[in-house]
Structure 1
Amino acid sequence: MKSRKLLLSLAVFFLVGIFVPTYASPVLGTEGEEENPVKEGWTSIGPNNVSGRVRSIIFDKFNEGVMYAGGVGGGLFISVNDGLNWREIPLGQGQTSGYAVTSIAQDDEGVIYVGTGEGFYAEEGNATGLSHLKTGLAGTGVYKMQLGAQGKEWAAAFSTDEQKYEYATSLVMNRLEATVPVLYDLTSEWTYINDMLCVGNTVYAATQMGGLKYSKDGGATWSAVSVGGSTMFNVTDIKVSKNGKVAIVYKNGTEARIAMRAEGDAEVFNDIFSKSLVADYTENDMINRIELAFGIKNPNVMVAFVYAYKMTGEGGYMVDGSIYRTADCQAENITWEKASPSSFYAGYDFNTSMSIAVNDLGEREYIYAASAVLQRGFDANNSPIYYWEQQTSYLDPFTSGIYVAPNIHCILFDENPQTAEDSLRIYLATDAGIFMYGTDPVTQFTQWHFRNKGLTSSQYYSVAAAADGSVVAAGQSNAISYIPTPSQDGLKSAETIWSPNSDGYSSYIISNLSSLIESQSGTAVEASAIHMTSPSVRKPFVLSRPNTIVARTYSDGNDYTTVNDQTWTFSGANPLTLMHANVVSGATNAPFVTPMAYWESFDAHDISKDSVYVVLDSTVVLRNGDRTRAYRTGAYLYDGDSVVVQSNTLGYPFFYEFTKEQYGEVDRGGEMVLDFFPTQDTAVLVVDPVQTRLYLSGAIGTFVCPEIMNFTKTYTSGMHYPDIIGWAKLCRGADSTISLTRPFHVLAPSPDGDALLVTIDVKASQGTPGQTKLLRISGINSIDYSISQCTNGDVDRVTTDTLATFDRTISSIVFDKKDNNSVIITFSDYSANTSNVMRSTNIMAPAGDVVFENIPLTDNNSKPVFASLIECMNPNNTSCAYIGSDDGIYKTENYKAAQVVWVKEDNVPNVPVYDLYQQTANRPKIQFKTYLSNNVTENVFEATKYPGAIYAASYGKGLFMNMDNLVEGLPEVGLTDVKQQAGQTSIRLYPNPAANRTTLNYTLSSSSRVTLNIFDMNGRLISTMDKGNQSAGSYAQIIDLNSLSKGVYMIQILTSNSVETAKLIVQ
């Protein structure tokens, strides 16, 4: 019989109306968690094993095994067991608290001093906010420990680690009032403290804006050191030798120099290293940064790690990182010798990470120098040029024993080792926490180990949550963190996924060492509301790293740690490629934090360009109201009959409805039936209402992928839509692929899917101040992807309007999902006169009519704001909104009010919050069967676990979760477990399990033709019996089991009105 395929625009609706209710009453608990009710407000969910940037680590001079570490954004931490685990020591209280720790020092009385404010990254032009490279956090001053009753040798008074932690974490760290910077004044002398040092009981603070400060009264008052007649300069490093020599590195204009303190005078420092004093440099060279170290056993040895741009013979410059050494820093005229060959390599980004140390406690002197990697040098042949060996790698797997994260800021040895193991240990402070070189207790091999347990200082740019409540977050230098089961009752560990060190993953775009190191970071994440657990696990995420490196994954059996080419698609030279080549063109010039947005709809009937076939055969079950019946060839179809269809988006189910409006009706024997009589192999092409889109900005434009969750498609050059995944270009934007004068920053799709708000940063140049342009791209729902070429020609098929130009950087835009015309816009700059939050309630108006209104902040309009969210799930909220600032999260009950009141949320530290994410899906659990020939497949899609939950990504204290807006989940839907109604059948097997035979009892509610089938668990038809027509009533059928092997089988009864199954176990 000839097959018919019909393309019909018929009504499509969802499973028995269950997807309609979006809002429900807030609840305080979820099923299965009665003993652990949901906590109110914000709670930290960790992770407890992932650390962010650590710039300083020291040993306690008076307590064996005690160490201190400073996380930039994470605060001050202490370990009482040589770094095996860590606990936080709070700095200050309330508004005086501090977290941007950059330096730690201890005086001779055992008092700890902590400096805050990261000046190295502030030099890159974006001192405080989320930039497209890294973030430099402004400081809050110097903190001083108040010793307790046990004095400076307190650890000896306690026998257990827990007792030591309890005592140490109770010690008060007060902020020194004389060091409090002017709030939001980046030129304040105490905003950035690069380093601290104690010489006896004199405390030094190396600041970026206020030069070198010192105090002789415990920090009550401070004086400034003069170098070259000036006290206002940038001091980047300060060190003291065992014999009391103090040396600093400071910036004289743009040139880094070393100066030594004169004998007997704390206020006079003289240059000992500069371009004019070292023969290797010319006047045209530029020395940008220097790090210092003294010998331990021989304190007259000083070494310097020098980063410079050296002029080449062709008039250009080359990056040079060299090691210099002097053996007699006591001499009046110090002679420096170069100790590194021209081939020496320790990294590339010395502005943000350099460190050096000398270990001469043994028979041989070793110099350790690091930036991206750690190098060890020693005198191998009595030559000034040392022999160098690389000690770490950031490319090897995490379990390799040589992996250490790049960007190494500090190298530490135990200068008073008590055991051979103490002598062996080396500690490194990196962008991904602390690593220790030592003996593995299991293998007894010496190798590098993570030492981040409890050092909760992870720095995240983005967060998203899947339907099962699992969380993914994109972290600085930590790739993607995946927490499978976050909890409010304790911090959980995270798995690090999709890093360059993941097993099986190597084919990604890398053009230079810069890209290689930056690819250690994750920058953006998105999550789908779909979670399938049968017949296989499918839980999709979209992940990104710097320079438009993007992947999508639905996991490999719920495992995201190992890359699997069957489930991953990414940019690069791989058969499974995700993106059109134009999307990644000029990728190394793309923004560091990839601008990315995800749009998902389960009800996109009117805008869908996608379609899927439904085949009408004997496996199809029709529903109409409360009735269900099996489809039979030649049977009539009635108005309102519907059938389950699987979408192209991971097979997610929806109902397709046959209606008289589309087909018309005819009279057949006194009843009205549809004027549509499908044959045995009729296939109907229906609109797929389950739609997903990924918006992405690269170096040369903004693009959209209309079916990002269709994992059956990838991009292959030369193939055409619909055989490959489609891409369209929406906006040009950038001037060129070489110079990012116009980088994209923020993308925000409208709830209805038809518009996209895009921001483009126009950087300042030649006296012209920087600007941000806000564009609106509309008409996206009408794009014909079959003719899209992912080129500039696509841009002409949408409408682009410039809505506004601002003199500051837009950091986030969020639509009100209940109001397609309303948005909140935030800005990340320090602005004393204008609020960094705005709103528009007519964003879809003609471009010239769009109105933007300032929403003043309650406490300080200068406050930078990085993230925003309009709550849309709790029916008790009308216009509730949240914002993430540099000191936590603020909430307003009505962002549309004439006088908006922002209230700071409790339980979130005073750290930057860069992303706010709400689980806006509320999907039920769905179970149904599908049939292919005689194979039966059980399909299960899980319910949304925490509908309404809000998540926050902080830059320094990890991730937070808020369940105040949870709504009730929707009831489970079992499309195969239908209660018996008119025309249906009930069945029962006894005995079950059975050995030789069993009896199938079934009851027909009306006369029907009956067929009995037996399937094994692989879906193979084992036996069939046609019982012919039977009247309404009860029947018993004996089934002989002697020919069946032991195992599980499915017994199926087919009638004219229903399909029923029962499980049989043969013993």
Structure 2
Amino acid sequence: MNFKTIIAGSLAVGLVIGGTLIKVTKESSKDAVYTPRATSVQGQDDYAAYMKMLKADPATGEIDPALVAQVMNDISARGKQTSKAALGMNWIQMGPDNVGGRCRAILVDKNNSNIVYAGSVTGGLYVSTDGSGTWTRVSGHLGTQGDNLSVSCITQTANGRIFFGTGSTFNEDQQGEMGSGARGNGVYEYVPATGDVVPVLIQTANAPQWVNNTQVANVNAVAARGNRLYIGSMDGLIYADPDGSGNYPSSFSSWTNPIKITSSLFETGTVNDIDIASDGSMVVCFSNKFYVMPDDNVTLYNTTNGLNNRSASRLQASIAPSNPNVIYMVGCNSSGNMTNLEISVDKGQNFSVIVPGGAPSVDPMRRSATETTGQGRYDMAIACDPSDWGHILVGGIRLFEWKYNPGSSPIGGSWLEAATIFGQGAFNPYYVHADKHTIVWPSASTIYIGSDGGVNRSTDGAQTWQQRNLGFNVTTFYDVACAANGWFIGGAQDNGNQLFAFQAFGEPSPLGTTEIVNTDPNITFGDGFDVAVSNIAQTVYATAQNAALIRTNSAAGGNFYDADMLDNYINNSQPWHTVIRLWETTNDPLSMDSVKIIVDSVYGAVIAPGDTVFPGDTIQVGDTIHYTSLTNGFSLQHIVTNPIILANPKDSFLIQDPIQSRFVLRMADGVYMTKDATRLNAGTFQWHKIYASNNAYNFEFSPDGNHLFIGTGDGKVVRISGLAMYNDSNSLDVGGANYALTVTTIATGLGGGSIVGLAIDPNDADNMIATAGGYSTNPHVYRCTNATTATGSTGNFVSIKGSGATAFPNMPAYDAMIDYQNKDKVIIASEWGVWSTDNAFSASATSVDWADESGNGMAHVPVHGIVQQHLWSDAAINSGWVYLGTHGQGFFASSTLATSIEENDDFADLTDNNFVSNLHVYPNPMNNKGMVEFNLKANANTTVNIFNLNGKLVKTVSLGMLAKGQHKESINVSSLSIGTYIMSLNAGNDKSIAKFIVTR
């Protein structure tokens, strides 16, 4: 496939604390292009609140494990059915293969150092056979049978078997639901020979232990000693040995808890960490205590002098591989700040503080010396050099290195920042992405780090680092948008805005992306959110948290606010989730913009090459006037339909400028709109506050751009009408003297909570799908058939959950798409992959059937964004392609619904002026709506296709199954441009045709 290019081009400070030399390097602020995820009140808290909003039951404000369990069981049961998916979507993984994403676990195979495993928080298990050079998803985590993709920890037994735990309590809540992670479901085995993922100790999804968040609902740690498997459960440490067949117990009660507090009381807290030494000794960490097993027997050593208790919220330990007497311990408090870094040289009987907590500048859990809180509860990692017991790495947001100073008393050493979190990129050998979750040190020179940016490796003992994410496609996207040249862009948590451009910017990998960089010092970028693409301006629009917005036609750009909006952005607390939407067209019959052509007696006016008119001349009907659009100086032509008589001695006339766009952005005080977003030639930008509430979770424009629909956080759908009718601030601004826009609430109480997804039929703006978040028994998918004409807030939307075995599960539905050729084909982006129907509008509400489309190249990964290319194949090389922005496995694309012009043979010979119409269409010409009258010889599934005179299918109307006899059906043509069209009515094997005209 050939792709046309549409988008252009591509201080050292030393001090001694407790015998430790501390050195801190100061980074240049101009290189700071990454913002860690919790550096302010509107950081981690807003992130957690947003994810909770998406997933919580709106009735309680909490995520109900019982409802989650119900969905898991429902989906599992459907996966065992043999029914085909409604649309049969085939998915292609489209990277990014150079970015990575949240990695919580890494394991290097003990028998072959080239084999490396990595686990993602929602993307599943990946394996590399070339020392992390390339990665592949394990086949057991593909398709609809993938049981749990939230990998938190990995271990290997003496006989080489691979086991991994799922779920983590180190996200924003104990359920693992409020962050980008997901709830776990126990421990699994990966079988390399077959690629299978096999349950070992899992919890039945409706079991009380799972619902009550106990036992192995989330597993923070797994470890092995010989073939004995240890699991860090939510009810303490447990272990088991395999039976004669190699099987481990499948019930929790058959595993042994070895930690006794008294003769009859066991330690049943949630395990944070397990580390097993070369001699079989072990340390087990809980949130504020730890236990040491000094040898390889079952009894664990518990000191009686209180040395094993810590004032901490999380603890993690590392035993020196070369000296099992040496144990390092690091912890954090409830604010996420490091408490102390400690060392024991006597197997945990005594500990010494080697780096005390409290100093922000030397706290790896904090981003910088100015931060008051850290993230140790979320990101913490520690590992010891296998060849040197006095050399360790500690990770949080930042990465620090401690080296023992031989002979020091008290014991001490140097404490250095070992990498930077700024100036990111493949060519910066000192960069490691912020938020480190695991450090694996298999040899003196080789180190692996798993972070929110994927996998990094050092081959020189932490002197330099390389990103190792080729194929580790686990980026967590919130949104996706596509361009007519096949490019697409997504906004990602922790990884900014990633543009896929088929290596046009020199990306080194086949599925690599380029991050859109903010160059504006007034704007703070970090997490990516909503995105958009303009085919007219060849421009992408990228956002970050708190209403940060830039545009660019390369890989870097700045804001396009006006002065008041910039002041608003800087001085007000903006919503964490940045919401935008772009509408554009090259042929807007409703355009209020005009180009003024001045004709004077000296120079006249050149209306076409070689054709100059002067005052007193007449421009005749049929003449072509060449003129320039207000948008980027594009050349336009206008065919005169009425004579233009020019007066003397000077005259002027206006010609409509059909190139139009509208762009909306949510800010702290409401919704703003500009018509200048695609005008790269605009010297200033004019924004209008068209809506005075920031309760806007997503936007959707009608195909003609006259209506804006808003999904709100309290279950409403609001329509703002008249956007095409006005240009002036008095009419468009809510504070204007003559505010003229019509604001209508057309739905209330949908889903009982937030409307997080809207989709409009590109052929008929009255048809709309609305989706709701939250695990709840409320409906999650609704349809509307009068979106542009509804006058009230009731009776317009109806749930199309369906019923029985094909009903839509009670899970969060994040986004929706209506197919550009057939409104009955609807795809929903959900917490559990993508789901589709082929009778969304033709079937009764209770008869709509939903099918799981998460197989055929994909998995049950959360999908937050879905978009289809609605431009036809004469305007886009990817016409009909569907793109997904998943929250854990990057981008996916599908051509299943794509149709080229060559496939539309219905219009053959219909443009012949001699053809005879056998279909009654009236009025003719028609304006926005018309009627089609026909007689059916038999009951038939009936469809109307409308073609332009170039043979392009421009609209499809599915009338559904109609009975034999006479029919009159209304056809909405408001989205069609002025011109002549062919209508083809298909009923079973019969076809009727008519030619009609659209005028305004």
Q: What's the TM-score once normalised by structure 2's chain length?
A: 0.70
Among 867, 874, 880, the alignment partner of 2:815 is: 867
**Secondary structure, in 3 states, of the residue corresponding to 2:759?**
strand
**Secondary structure, in 3 states, of the residue corresponding to 2:578?**
coil
1:176 alignment counterpart? 200
> How far did residue 892 of structure 1 move?
1.0
> How far did residue 751 of structure 1 move?
3.1
**Contact 1:468-1:944 within 8 A present in 2 as well:** yes
**Secondary structure, in 3 states, of the residue corresponding to 1:105?**
strand
**Secondary structure, in 3 states, of the residue corresponding to 2:171?**
helix
1:609-628 equivalent positions in 2, closer than 5 A:
609-614=592-597, 620=606
1:219 alignment counterpart? 248
> How far did residue 774 of structure 1 move?
4.4
For 1:677 and 1:878, the matched residues in 2 are separated by 52
Please list the CA deviations of residues 729-781 of structure 1 after superposition, one character each: whole Å capped at 9, or x if unmatched: 233436xxxxxxxx6422233334343333443xxxxxxxxx55544444444
1:436 alignment counterpart? 457
> How far did residue 506 of structure 1 move?
6.1
> How far did residue 143 of structure 1 move?
2.0
**Contact 1:181-1:191 within 8 A present in 2 as well:** no
Q: Is the aligned partner of 1:248 residue 2:278?
A: no
**Secondary structure, in 3 states, of the residue corresponding to 2:531?**
strand
Query: 1:140–1:448: structure 2 CA closer, same or farther, 3 Å change rule?
Result: same
> How far did residue 727 of structure 1 move?
1.3
Q: Is the aligned partner of 1:497 residue 2:479?
A: no
Query: 1:107–1:546: structure 2 CA closer, same or farther, 3 Å change rule?
Result: same
Amino acid paired to 2:893: M
Among 466, 473, 481, the alignment partner of 1:449 is: 466
Q: Is the aligned partner of 1:401 residue 2:429?
A: yes
> How far did residue 526 of structure 1 move?
0.5
> How far did residue 916 of structure 1 move?
0.7
Please list the CA deviations of residues 171-208 of structure 1 after superposition, one character each: whole Å capped at 9, or x if unmatched: 43322364454499584744432222112222223345
1:955 alignment counterpart? 887
2:998 alignment counterpart? none
> How far did residue 917 of structure 1 move?
0.7
> How far did residue 544 of structure 1 move?
0.9
2:922 alignment counterpart? none
**Contact 2:811-2:831 within 8 A present in 1 as well:** yes
Among 705, 708, 711, the alignment partner of 1:756 is: 708
2:680 alignment counterpart? 711
1:22 alignment counterpart? none
> How far did residue 889 of structure 1 move?
1.6
Amino acid paired to 2:707: A
> How far did residue 635 of structure 1 move?
5.1
CA RMSD of aligned residues (A): 3.8
> How far did residue 600 of structure 1 move?
1.6
**Secondary structure, in 3 states, of the residue corresponding to 1:839?**
strand
Please list the CA deviations of residues 791-811 of structure 1 after superposition, one character each: whole Å capped at 9, or x if unmatched: 866996645455313533332
For 1:46 and 1:292, the matched residues in 2 are separated by 35
1:75 alignment counterpart? 124
**Contact 1:234-1:250 within 8 A present in 2 as well:** yes
1:894 alignment counterpart? 839
**Contact 1:461-1:524 within 8 A present in 2 as well:** yes
1:161-310 equivalent positions in 2, closer than 5 A:
170-176=194-200, 178-182=202-206, 187=213, 189-208=215-234, 210-217=235-242, 218-221=247-250, 222=252, 223=255, 225=257, 229=265, 233-251=269-287, 256-260=288-292, 266=298, 270=302, 277-278=309-310, 287-309=312-334
1:411-422 equivalent positions in 2, closer than 5 A:
411-414=439-442, 417=443
**Secondary structure, in 3 states, of the residue corresponding to 2:272?**
strand
For 1:96 and 1:267, the matched residues in 2 are separated by 40
> How far did residue 586 of structure 1 move?
5.3
Q: Is the aligned partner of 1:373 residue 2:398?
A: yes
Among 660, 664, 671, the alignment partner of 1:702 is: 671
**Contact 1:638-1:674 within 8 A present in 2 as well:** yes
> How far did residue 111 of structure 1 move?
0.3
> How far did residue 521 of structure 1 move?
2.9
Please list the CA deviations of residues 277-306 of structure 1 after superposition, one character each: whole Å capped at 9, or x if unmatched: 45xx5xxxxx33222222222222222222
Query: 1:273–1:825: structure 2 CA closer, same or farther, 3 Å change rule?
Result: farther
For 2:304 and 2:144, the matched residues in 1 are separated by 42
For 1:269 and 1:544, the matched residues in 2 are separated by 53
For 2:892 and 2:111, the matched residues in 1 are separated by 36
**Secondary structure, in 3 states, of the residue corresponding to 1:815?**
strand
2:918 alignment counterpart? none
For 1:355 and 1:706, the matched residues in 2 are separated by 49
2:521 alignment counterpart? 507
**Contact 1:257-1:274 within 8 A present in 2 as well:** no
For 1:782 and 1:67, the matched residues in 2 are separated by 60
Query: 1:809–1:40: structure 2 CA closer, same or farther, 3 Å change rule?
Result: closer
**Contact 1:922-1:944 within 8 A present in 2 as well:** yes
For 1:603 and 1:850, the matched residues in 2 are separated by 34
Q: Identity over the aligned pairs, expressed in percent?
A: 22
Query: 1:230–1:119: structure 2 CA closer, same or farther, 3 Å change rule?
Result: same
**Contact 2:663-2:675 within 8 A present in 1 as well:** yes
**Contact 1:141-1:180 within 8 A present in 2 as well:** no
For 2:604 and 2:877, the matched residues in 1 are separated by 35
> How far did residue 949 of structure 1 move?
1.7
Amino acid paired to 1:497: E
Query: 1:93–1:950: structure 2 CA closer, same or farther, 3 Å change rule?
Result: closer
Q: What's the TM-score once normalised by structure 1's chain length?
A: 0.66
**Contact 1:947-1:969 within 8 A present in 2 as well:** no
> How far did residue 406 of structure 1 move?
0.9
For 2:898 and 2:637, the matched residues in 1 are separated by 28
Count of aligned positions = 776
For 1:207 and 1:644, the matched residues in 2 are separated by 74
> How far did residue 891 of structure 1 move?
1.6
1:84 alignment counterpart? 133
> How far did residue 264 of structure 1 move?
7.1
For 1:31 and 1:452, the matched residues in 2 are separated by 26
2:768 alignment counterpart? 823
**Contact 1:116-1:192 within 8 A present in 2 as well:** yes
Query: 1:273–1:459: structure 2 CA closer, same or farther, 3 Å change rule?
Result: farther
> How far did residue 552 of structure 1 move?
0.9
- Structure number with larger C-alpha Rg: 1
Among 771, 775, 783, the alignment partner of 1:839 is: 783
2:363 alignment counterpart? 345
Amino acid paired to 1:246: M
> How far did residue 388 of structure 1 move?
1.7
Query: 1:810–1:195: structure 2 CA closer, same or farther, 3 Å change rule?
Result: farther
Query: 1:231–1:596: structure 2 CA closer, same or farther, 3 Å change rule?
Result: farther
Query: 1:220–1:498: structure 2 CA closer, same or farther, 3 Å change rule?
Result: same
> How far did residue 836 of structure 1 move?
2.0
**Secondary structure, in 3 states, of the residue corresponding to 2:459?**
strand
Please list the CA deviations of residues 546-574 of structure 1 after superposition, one character each: whole Å capped at 9, or x if unmatched: 2222111123xxxx2xx3xxxx3327xxx
**Contact 1:75-1:99 within 8 A present in 2 as well:** yes
For 2:236 and 2:403, the matched residues in 1 are separated by 34
**Secondary structure, in 3 states, of the residue corresponding to 1:917?**
strand
> How far did residue 951 of structure 1 move?
0.9
2:102 alignment counterpart? 53
> How far did residue 883 of structure 1 move?
0.7
**Secondary structure, in 3 states, of the residue corresponding to 2:313?**
strand
**Secondary structure, in 3 states, of the residue corresponding to 2:521?**
coil
For 2:793 and 2:420, the matched residues in 1 are separated by 55
For 1:328 and 1:428, the matched residues in 2 are separated by 26
For 1:882 and 1:772, the matched residues in 2 are separated by 21
Please list the CA deviations of residues 987-1034 of structure 1 after superposition, one character each: whole Å capped at 9, or x if unmatched: xxxxxxxxxxxxxxxxxxxxxxxxxxxxxxxxxxxxxxxxxxxxxxxx
Amino acid paired to 2:395: A
For 1:615 and 1:659, the matched residues in 2 are separated by 19
Q: Is the aligned partner of 1:479 residue 2:496?
A: yes
1:551 alignment counterpart? 550
> How far did residue 911 of structure 1 move?
0.9
> How far did residue 915 of structure 1 move?
0.8
> How far did residue 59 of structure 1 move?
1.2
